[in-house]
A and B are shown apart, each in its own frame.
Chain A
Amino acid sequence: MKINTTIKTPFSSIYSRERMNKKAFRYADIPMVFLCFLVIGVGIAIGMYVFFSYTVDVRGLEAQILGEKLVNGLVDQGHLRDNVLTNNFNIYHEAHISKKIIDQNEHYFSLDIIKNGEIIKNIDGGNREYKVLCHLSGEKLPRCFSQSIKIDGYTINILSASNYQGAGV
């Protein structure tokens, strides 16, 4: 008794003996050709992405510049600005910082003005999550810059952070 052991698969027709013996390219092979091109193309694309996808990381420098601008906004000729402790003090205006960009949630800053060990004023802006994330480490987490200045009997703790990667291509 003869048993037929041929198993039919989706590729049976492609690899059938008649086809393998045929030397010419056939229009029916076009989908297979495209499949091969797709596999090769995806392989090359992945390879290029791995080797050529650089990101220039300047988040740390950006956080530092933001911190320096905040100091310039608080201090005038070596003294704390007169209006810093008033309610109408606008740090964005004094430090020439764009509120629109800070409010895009990729930056953060916090200022604690301390007198006799007690915080008498806090000013902050941007993404408040960064205040916590600054204490953690990770590639995707924001880069932070903290500094403390003593001026006219006040201690000012400044924290600035950036996780801005650029608007991209």
Chain B
Amino acid sequence: MKKSETLLMEYLVFILLVLIFIVGVTSSVIRVTNNTAIHEQILAKQLMLLTNKAEPGMTIKIDLTHYYNIAAKNKFRESVISFDNSAKQLTVRLIDGKGYSANYFNDVLIAWNIDRDKRILIMEIGIDEN
């Protein structure tokens, strides 16, 4: 291999390393600065307080348009909210990842559904017989 070719190869490797680093740092900065994590936490804690305060027989409707817009920006197409009645835990996800979970102490059974067209969460609170 000629000396000039070796030099070119070495430059290419260096430029490639720098590019990988810049792309990695930029993507993580964008991910953190778009505040998705804080929005996940806010929604999870609002729902946690609401669920704790809820009484059996209530029907609660929450407009999720703002959070669906954030999920759409993050190209996240799965369910934004999920409830686990046995673990008394709700999880909010607005981006690929584990999301933010919160436990509620209210011993109720939650039947929930999301109207995807109107972007409304409908929660029906029932008595947990277990």
| Contact of B44 with A by CB under 8 A | yes
| Contact of B102 with A by CB under 8 A | yes
| Contact of B121 with A by CB under 8 A | no
| Contact of A52 with B by CB under 8 A | yes
Question: Which residues of A114-169 are within 8 A (CB) of B?
Answer: 164, 166-169
| Contact of A4 with B by CB under 8 A | no
The residue in chain B whose Cβ has the minimal distance to the Cβ of A95 is B107
Contact B49 A58 (CB under 8 A): yes
| Contact of B82 with A by CB under 8 A | no
Mark each residue of chain A from 50 to 93: 1 if its CB lies under 8 Å from any CB of chain B, else 0.
00101110100110011011000000000000000000000010
Contact B105 A97 (CB under 8 A): yes
Interface of B is mostly: helix
Contact B106 A169 (CB under 8 A): no
* Given A25-B13, A27-B13, A54-B38: A166 and B21 interface contact (C-beta under 8 Å): no
CA distance A58 to B13 in the complex (A): 50
Residues of B in contact (CB 8 Å), total: 43
CB-CB < 8 A to A169: which residues of B?
Answer: 37, 40-41, 97-100
Contact A167 B101 (CB under 8 A): yes
Interface of A is mostly: helix
Report which of A56, A104, A107 forms a contact with B42, defined as CB distance below 8 A.
A56
CA distance A66 to B108 in the complex (A): 14
The residue in chain B whose Cβ has the minimal distance to the Cβ of A37 is B21
Question: Which residues of A24-43 are within 8 A (CB) of B?
Answer: 24-27, 30, 33, 37, 40-41
CA distance A58 to B32 in the complex (A): 22
Question: Which residues of B18-60 are within 8 A (CB) of A?
Answer: 21, 24-25, 28-29, 32-33, 35, 37-38, 40-42, 44-45, 48-49, 52-53, 55-56
Contact A69 B106 (CB under 8 A): yes
| Contact of A96 with B by CB under 8 A | yes
| Contact of A101 with B by CB under 8 A | yes
The residue in chain A whose Cβ has the minimal distance to the Cβ of B53 is A65
Report which of B11, B25, B42, B105 forms a contact with A101, defined as CB distance below 8 A.
B105
| Contact of B68 with A by CB under 8 A | no
CA distance A27 to B88 in the complex (A): 55
- Shortest 4 CB-CB contacts between residues of A and residues of B: A167-B101, A25-B14, A101-B105, A98-B107
Other than the known A52-B37, A69-B106, what 16 A-B pairs have Cβ atoms closer than 8 Å?
A24-B7, A25-B10, A30-B13, A41-B21, A44-B25, A54-B38, A56-B38, A56-B42, A58-B45, A96-B56, A96-B107, A98-B104, A98-B105, A166-B45, A166-B101, A169-B98
Q: List 15 A-B contacts (CB under 8 A).
A: A25-B10, A37-B17, A44-B29, A52-B32, A56-B41, A56-B42, A58-B48, A61-B49, A65-B49, A66-B105, A101-B88, A164-B102, A164-B103, A166-B101, A167-B103
